[in-house]
Structures are given as C-alpha cells and as structure tokens.
Amino acid sequence: MRGALLVAGTHSDAGKSVVVAGICRWLAREGVKVAPFKAQNMALNSFVTLEGAEIGRAQAAQAAAACIEPEAAMNPVLLKPSAGGRTQVILRGKPYSSASAASYQGMKRELLPVVLESLEDLRRRFEVVVCEGAGSPAEINLRENDIANMGLARAASLPVVVVGDIDRGGLFASLYGTLALLSAEDQALVGGFLVNKFRGDATVLAPGLEQMSGVTGRPFFGTLPYVRGLGIDGEDSLALDAPRDVSPPLGRDSLRVAVVRLGRISNFTDLDALIHEPGVAVRFTESYEEILAADLTVLPGTKATVEDLKTVRTRGLDRALIERDKRGLPTLGICGGYQMLGGRIEDGVESDEGEALGLGLLPVETVFGEEKILARPEGRASLFGGVPVSGYEIRHGRVHRSGGEPLFVKDGGDEGCRVGATLGTSWHGVFESDGFRRAFLRWVAEERGLDWTAGDEPFAARREAQFERLGDLVAENVDREALLRLVESGAPSGLPFLPPGTVDLQLRTGALVGQGSEG
C-alpha cells in the first residue's frame, strides 16, 4: 500500500500526537513501512537525531513507535519561543532565523517549499506517511500561508481526519465548527472524524455520532477510550499539569523530586525516567517550601537562561536553592539550569542583557555562541561507580569549569560539575541511562538517610510497552479498513459543504463592518 494522511485536531492537546504514534505502531506491526511527519511544530522539548539535527520530541517518539530512526525530514520546521517575544526558527534541524509572531507569518511563504520537499522525500522512501497537524485547522486568522494544517493538506493533496477530545466537553460543536469554518476546498479533504478520550457508555454516544455523520456527510473512524497515563513525550506546559502516577516504593521510603517550573522550561521530559522508578514522586513547582523540602531539586533546561534566572530571583526561589546548597541537600542543574547554578553568564544570543551573574553555587562560567551545539554524547559517571551514561546536547552556551569535580568523563575530556551535593550537566536525557539513574537516586537516598530501593525494569522497555498499548488502542477501536481506504485513495469526492466556510465568513464580516462604519 501507499499513501499519506493528515491527523488534525479541534484544538491543541486534542490527542493528535498520540493518535499519530498509535497509527504508526499499528501499521509497523502490520509490516507497513511508515514514517511520522509534522511540518511545523512549536515546542521547547526537542531531540537530537543521529545526523545532528534538532526536531520535536513528539516526532522522535512517533519515529520510535514506527520502529525507525528519527530524522530531520520528519519535522522540517521547529519553533522555539525565546526571550523578548522572539521565536527561534529551526529549519531542517538547524537554526535558521529569529522571528516575532507577526514576522513569522510572512516567513512561512519561503518555508513551504522546504516542508513539501521534506514530505515528498519521506513519501518516496516510505509506504505511508502519517502527518500531524498543529493546533487547529480552523484558526482562520492563520489560514493564509498555513504550512501545517489545511495549507499543507491542499498543497500535498492529503486526506484529513479531525480528532476531537470528548473529555473536555463540547465534542460535536467542536467538530462541526472546525469543519464549517473551513473553505469549500479545505472541507473537501476532510474525510472523517475520530473521538478521543471517551470514558462513558458507547451506546449513549452512538446516536450523536450517527446524527453528526448525517449532518456532515462524514463518518467516524473510531472512538478511542480514555486511558490514564497513556501518551508520548509532552511538548508544552500543558503536560506539566497532567497527573503522574507514583508506583509504590520497594523500600520503606519514597523520594520527593521538586522541579523548578521555569517560564521557558525546555526538555522537561528529562524527568520522565525518574517517574519510572518505584517510589519516586516528581512535581513541577514554583513553591519555595517545596523546592527547599524536596529530597532532590532539579533546576531544568530553559530556552531563556538569563530571563528565567531573573524570574527565579524575583520569586525568591534563588534563596531556596542557596539554602539547599548550605544544607548539603541534593540539587541538580540541567543545561540552562546548570548555567544558572554557575557564575558569569555572557549571552549575546538568546537575550539582550549581554551579561548576568548566576547563583554562584558551581565554579563554572557560560559564554553563548551563535552556532548551536547539537550532539549525542556518551561517557561514564565517574562519581557514581563509573556506570555508562548517554544523552544529547541542544545549547548555545559553552560552559567552562574552573573547579569542583567533573560529573562525567568522555573521550577527549569531561562534562559537568559537582561541588558537595550540588551538581550540573549540559546533557539532557541522562536519566534514561538505567545504571546512572539508579546510582544517582541511590546517592540521593543515602544523602537524605532514606531507605529507597531502585526498580529493575529498563526505561526503554517501559517506552516500548507504551507504544504497544498505543498500537492496541488503534487496532482495537478504529475501523482500520476504512482508515486504510482513506490513506490510499484520499477523501471521497462529493462530500457535502457546510456553510459558512471561511470565504463566506470573511464576506459577511466585511459587510457587517462596512454597515457599522457607515452608520
């Protein structure tokens, strides 16, 4: 089989990423060579591919679900909100430009050819490409020059499935309104709907689905049940508020981890592997008391080190971190958080400040360079039994250590810094290394005098099991034959048009404005 599909949603966090991952795993299990694609992604959680390209973490996770290696073509445009209302534009995995919200709209014209070339490249090499939209396709203020939703679908002749999150309420209005706000040409590509996160009795929902299909002329391809904790790597701050299950401890005690919630927090998926361990509770917080009382406090990565450092001081959280250092309580800084724990920060790239002073808890200084470091380093944790550790680097900051002990050793040098119970590293993803994660948490428990015991399940096994559950979710709850027909043949001809459509809406709005001005 050959074809492609765009999975759109009625709003952000409707479940597009999860649905794409589930379809990818289901097709991969069926022996189909499948790849994910997201033309434009806005996320501060990103990943470095083996080719040294930066893409959204969701696309990296979807590639893992498809049982393939992630690559730059799967996310040709990545937007990373930075300080001062600017956004860094990453094109094909490398920094391309900096833009405001307004200037980026014009920039999209020059990005569309790169997006289409990337998609076509994947379609040549894979049998099926499952595309993920961005936000909602009915954002009529953004429709002109759109490269992620219906603009992409029109340019590449992609059939579209719209996902609605019934858990939020207003499912039918959201689906109908989304379709009705599209132009006739856009509506012609929408082949049907999917219901996501359904908790209730299917027999009660069924009449509504039938009526909705009747008025729109489009089928429902399935209803996915709500499954707590079923998802892939989060990409925006909405994920920070999601409930996190804590498995029972194997020892007498649990470990409390407080993660400082920064305004431009990035790669907070670094903490997912900690949650995987039994008896480890992770909480993202802005509370002085929680940060001070935790067994481990993490100052995470950020896309705006200097700006977020100001916020840390404004909220008085710097005092909690300094007090932890005085008391010898375990504290870890990752990437931007590591830079904050150090001394001088010279930044002429991400901020207009030029220079700032960190918290002075680690003997390191940071100088930002124009060229971004993108790497997949490996080494050993010399201070934790020499266990192997790997991660990835995404940073402009070059950190120079003038004291303390290195956290990791690697070919050609060392990485990170430790002074007492305060540590820092520029490497993301280090807790996914099972040996290091367990050794590090055992050290935290010893420092706190707690009886905590590590688990024995590899983190990679947990992720693989998650992908399998997503594949099952699609296989068991979606009309697979109908979905495959849509992928192979596209949206059927003759689908009804629902007024008003964006063109009619613009005309009516203009008429109303004109009447008001004349009066």
pLDDT digit string (tens) for 180-239? 999 999 999 999 999 999 998 989 999 999 999 999 999 999 999 998 877 776 655 556
In this model, does residue 519 exceed pLDDT 70? no
Give pLDDT, residue 348: 84
Give pLDDT, residue 81: 87
Q: What is the pLDDT of residues 453-475, one digit of tens each?
A: 999 999 999 999 999 999 999 99
On the CB side of 430, CA atoms within 13 Å amount to: 31
Average of pLDDT values for 287-312? 96
Q: Are strands 40-42 and 77-81 parallel, antiparallel or unpaired?
A: parallel
Is 396 among the residues known to form the active site? no
- CATH 3.40.50.880 range(s) for the chain read 251-454
In angstroms, how far is CA 257 from the centroid of its own chain?
21
In this model, does residue 484 exceed pLDDT 70? yes
- CATH 3.40.50.300 range(s) for the chain read 3-125+132-232+464-514
Q: Is the peptide bond before 81 cis (omega within 30 degrees of 0)?
A: no
In this model, does residue 505 exceed pLDDT 70? no
Give pLDDT, residue 351: 76
Catalytic choice (24, 131, 396, 428) = 428
Q: How confident is the model at residue 176 (pLDDT cuts 50, 70, 90)?
A: very high
Q: What is the DSSP string of 261-299?
A: --TTEE-GGGGHHHHHSTTEEEEEE--HHHHHHSSEEEE
User: What 3-state DSSP class applies to 432?
Assistant: helix
pLDDT over 70, % of the chain: 94
Count other C-beta atoms under 10 Å from residue 105's C-beta: 15
Give pLDDT, residue 516: 33
Those residues with Cβ within 8 angstroms of residue 267's Cβ, 6 or more apart along the chain or in another chain: 44, 45, 46, 57, 300, 301, 334, 335, 394, 428, 429
Give pLDDT, residue 234: 62
Give pLDDT, residue 245: 76
Give pLDDT, residue 353: 74
Which of 154-158, 234-238, 487-491 has the lowest average pLDDT? 234-238
Is 24 among the residues known to form the active site? no
Catalytic choice (24, 131, 276, 335) = 335
| Size of the chain in residues | 519
Q: What is the pLDDT of residues 350-402, one digit of tens each?
A: 777 778 999 999 999 999 999 999 999 999 999 999 999 999 999 999 999 99
Give pLDDT, residue 246: 84
User: What 3-state DSSP class applies to 370?
Assistant: strand
Please tell me what DSSP assigns to residue 382: G
Domain 3-125+132-232+464-514 fold is: Rossmann fold (3.40.50)
d(CA 338, CA 301): 8
Under 8 Å between Cβ of 72 and 46? no
d(CA 99, CA 86): 6
Average of pLDDT values for 62-86? 93
d(CA 44, CA 298): 17
Q: How confident is the model at residue 13 (pLDDT cuts 50, 70, 90)?
A: confident
Average of pLDDT values for 31-41? 97
Please tell me what DSSP assigns to residue 183: -
d(CA 289, CA 376): 36
Average of pLDDT values for 301-305? 92
d(CA 53, CA 96): 12
Give pLDDT, residue 354: 76
Look up tokens 């014009």; give the residue: 106
Average of pLDDT values for 35-49? 94
Average of pLDDT values for 292-311? 95
User: What 3-state DSSP class applies to 251?
Assistant: coil
Closest by CA position to 358, among listed 302, 435, 274, 441:
302
Helix residue ranges, H only, 126-191: 150-156, 171-180, 184-187
**Which residues share a beta bridge with 131?**
6, 37
d(CA 46, CA 55): 5
Residues 102, 306, 72, 191, CA torsion sign? negative
**Which residues share a beta bridge with 395?**
373
Closest by CA position to 426, among listed 301, 329, 260:
301
Give pLDDT, residue 511: 41
Q: What is the pLDDT of residues 131-143, one digit of tens each?
A: 999 999 999 999 9
**To the nearest 10°, the Cα dihedral for 37, 42, 48, 50?**
20
CATH number of 251-454: 3.40.50.880
Kindly report the backbone phi and psi dihedral angles of residue 435, in degrees, each rounded to the nearest multiple of 5, phi listed first.
-65, -45
In the numeric block, which tokens belong to residue 477? 């709850």
Give pLDDT, residue 513: 37
Look up tokens 């909705």; give the residue: 212
Under 8 Å between Cβ of 389 and 397? no
Q: What is the pLDDT of residues 307-349, one digit of tens each?
A: 999 999 999 999 999 999 999 999 999 999 999 999 999 998 8
